[in-house]
């Protein structure tokens, strides 16, 4: 399911990137047809690309938010959550090793003492 969500998200982003090229091409054609001055054309294209980038960033944020929400609802762990579990597991293993060493030390101590 996660793989399907990733593919869908990347497909949407890929289409948006393709659209950016189309928007830029449209803007260049528009400036030629309207016989804008070079400065007007540059300004028009720049403004259009800025608006596109702003919309794209907003869309990307919404997609990320939606993916996080779906993951939360389906109880899929995030990378951060997995990293926290790994860190806690390493700490627990370290503690177990220390306890094992202490038990061994106490056993050896008990064996060395006369009964």
Q: What is the pLDDT of residues 21-68, one digit of tens each?
A: 777 787 778 778 777 788 887 887 888 788 878 878 888 888 888 888
pLDDT at residue 68 in the model: 81
As a whole number, mean pLDDT of residues 109-113 equals 86
- Please report where in the chains the tokens 């860190």 appear, as a residue: 87
- Is the entire prediction scored with pTM above 0.85? no
Tell me, rounded to whole angstroms, the distance of Cα 89 from its chain centroid.
24
Inter-residue contact 48 to 23 (CB < 8 Å): yes
As a whole number, mean pLDDT of residues 11-28 equals 70
């Amino acid at each position: 399911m996660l793989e399907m969500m990733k593919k869908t998200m990347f497909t949407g982003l890929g289409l948006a990137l393709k659209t950016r090229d189309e928007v830029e091409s449209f803007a260049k054609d528009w400036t030629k047809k309207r016989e804008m001055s070079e400065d007007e054309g540059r300004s028009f294209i720049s403004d259009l690309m800025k608006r596109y980038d702003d919309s794209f960033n907003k869309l990307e944020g919404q997609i990320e938010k939606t993916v996080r929400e779906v993951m939360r609802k389906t109880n899929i762990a995030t990378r951060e959550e997995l990293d926290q579990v790994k860190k806690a597991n390493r700490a627990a293993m370290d503690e177990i090793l220390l306890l094992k060493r202490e038990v061994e030390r106490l056993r050896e101590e008990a064996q060395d003492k006369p009964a």
